[in-house]
Amino acid sequence: MQEKFPGAHPNIWYPFTAIKGAPSPLKVLSGNGAWIELEGGKRLLDLISSWWVNLLGHARPEIADAICRQSQRLEHVIFAGFTHEPAEDLAEKLAGKLPGQLNRVFYSDDGSTAVEVAIKMAWQYWANLGEKRKSFIAFDHAYHGDTFGAMSISARSLFTDGFKELLFDVEHVPYPATWLDDGEVEAKEAAAIRRIAHLLEQNPKRYAAIIIEPLVQGAGGMRMCRVEFLQALRRLSRQHDTLFIFDEVMTGFGRTGEWFACARAAIDPDVICLAKGLTGGFLPLAVTVCSDDIYGVFSSPDPDKTLFHGHSYTANPLGCAAALATMELLEQNEEWFKTLEQAHGKHLAPLIAHPKLDRIRVAGTIAAMDIKTDEREGYLNTVSATIKRKAFERGLLLRPLGNVLYLMPPYCISKDELAWAYRGIASIVDEL
Ligand SMILES: *Cc1c(COP(=O)(O)O)cnc(C)c1O
């Protein structure tokens, strides 16, 4: 076996990884703060928060203890016909933090399932009102997950192409991505709004919802939009009576410098999807939170009006305990995520004039830049592998999305660690 497929483990199929030609995965033994330690003793500064899930550092003792305590009481129980304190406490805490009427929490397992639930909720909301809304409005470069509903509303890309015959049709519209010193942003926003308004006017009862990654599109290349655009969209969705869904799987829990992107934008969406950082990066857990109005439309003894969805591990008590501990830590350390934007800004300023860099941008704890290369932009750009290797040599964990280099560190990263990371990045980019 090992000879036939050299490099990787003989019994594991790794995600998003070409089986031939990919470098062997690195074996991680432990994590501590913003660092992970590899077999052999090498340490890496985790500048991608381990696929965007870790908020407060690795192996955070407060979260570990909360999970341990809960596991000795109740590890799991069926969540249909039964309930438990960790799920109730977490739902109350989330509803208290989220804006407007976002008060009903539906539990699932990961970002993709949170999105599936949102799609089903929106679709059935209209069906329960006696309307058949046939489609959704989503955005170019959007990424909402890997299950079929989530793939359908995601932009068509390398990730979805192999399955395209199985995906349902969605209207994809431009996302007015912007960066520092972008003189065109208002024109891009106006064009996007015109296009969406046109769709809604042409087919007033066609779209169940508009779904967006607010402020930052993650996997699509850390593309950032302005608060003003989201506010204009909210007005449009109200005016044309369609639902507005925020996929905050990545942007939630401080990532954009506020508790949620919707708080930063001062908007109350109808539905919000949260996962990734929810448990501080400890356990898979997700929620889809909807408004009282939406919940009300499902309030009926009629099975046809019931939302038929659920997973074996729905509202897992260990996940809920980890999420509660995470939210408490975030409450006690808000300055961690509220001050990172300024820190990034200070380090990004001298890079703006760099001849190899373009479209420098920042939103809260996330900083990103495009590397100029002679190749096509996008996920397959080979500069990504070069940067990964050079970063590794310097003790930095970076995983550019094609030619988009980004930093999304755990919030506990120190000023000195961040400065050191930026010095490493500057020297990597100088060598390209
Ligand atoms: C990662 C991500 C998802 C999918 O989440 P998984 O936990 O990987 O299933 C959905 N939406 C956004 C915006 C994401 O960044």
Q: How far apart are CA 324 and CA 237, in angstroms?
A: 33
- Could you tell me which CATH class the domain 34-56+339-431 is placed in? alpha beta
Give the pLDDT score at 6: 66
pLDDT tens for each residue of 255-267: 999 999 999 999 9
What does the pLDDT look like over 320-379, one tens digit per residue? 999 999 999 999 999 999 999 999 999 999 999 999 999 999 999 999 999 999 888 777
Determine the Cα–Cα distance for residues 286 and 277; give it in Å rounded to an integer: 9
Tell how far the Cα of 413 is from the centroid of ligand 1, in angstroms: 23
Mutate to test the pocket of ligand 1, among 143, 152, 175 (most ligand atoms within 8 A of CB): 143
Q: pLDDT, tens digit, for every residue of 104-143?
A: 999 999 999 999 999 999 999 999 999 999 999 999 999 9
CATH of domain 65-332: 3.40.640.10
Neighbour order of strands in the sheet with 404-407: 357-363, 366-371, 404-407
**Nearest alpha carbon to residue 61 among 397, 421, 364, 412:** 412
Average pLDDT, the chain: 96
Distance CA 404, CA 423 (A): 18
**Which is the closest atom of ligand 1 to the Cα of 111?**
5
The helix-helix angle for 317-332 and 85-97 (nearest 10°) equals 40
As a whole number, mean pLDDT of residues 187-209 equals 97
CA of 323 to the centre of ligand 1 (A): 17
Residue 29 CA to residue 422 CA, distance in Å, equals 26
Ligand 1 atom nearest 276 alpha carbon: 7
Structure tokens at 309: 């969805």
pLDDT tens digits, residue range 5-49? 766 788 999 999 888 888 889 999 999 999 999 999 999 999 999
Q: Where along the chain do its domains lie?
A: 34-56+339-431, 65-332
User: Dihedral of the CA atoms 193, 255, 290, 98 (nearest 10)?
Assistant: -110
Q: Which atom of ligand 1 is nearest to the CA of 248?
A: 13
| Substitution site in 276, 399, 406 for ligand 1 pocket (most atoms within 8 Å of beta carbon) | 276
The span from the CA of 108 to the CA of 194, in Å, is 35
Considering only CA atoms, which of 395, 336, 386 is closest in space to residue 365?
336
Q: Which residues pair with 210 in a beta bridge?
A: 137, 244
Distance 82 CA to ligand 1 centre (A): 28
Q: Please list the helix, strand and coil fractions of the chain in percent, rounded to the nearest 5, in that order.
A: 40, 20, 45
Average pLDDT over residues 293-307: 96
- Rounded to 5 degrees, φ, ψ at 412 are -80, 0
Answer yes or no: are the C-beta atoms of 251 and 133 closer than 8 Å: no
Across 1-5, 23-27, 238-242, which has the greatest mean pLDDT?
238-242
Label residue 3 by pLDDT band (50, 70, 90).
low
Per-residue pLDDT reduced to its tens digit, 407-431: 999 999 999 999 999 999 999 999 9
Could you tell me the pLDDT band of residue 1, with boundaries at 50, 70 and 90?
A: very low
Tens digits of per-residue pLDDT, 372-410? 998 887 778 889 999 999 999 999 999 999 999 999 999
In the prediction, which pLDDT does 377 show?
A: 79
Confidence of residue 2 (pLDDT cuts 50, 70, 90): very low
| Ligand 1 shell residues, CB under 6 Å | 110-112, 115, 143-145, 213, 218-219, 247, 249-250, 275
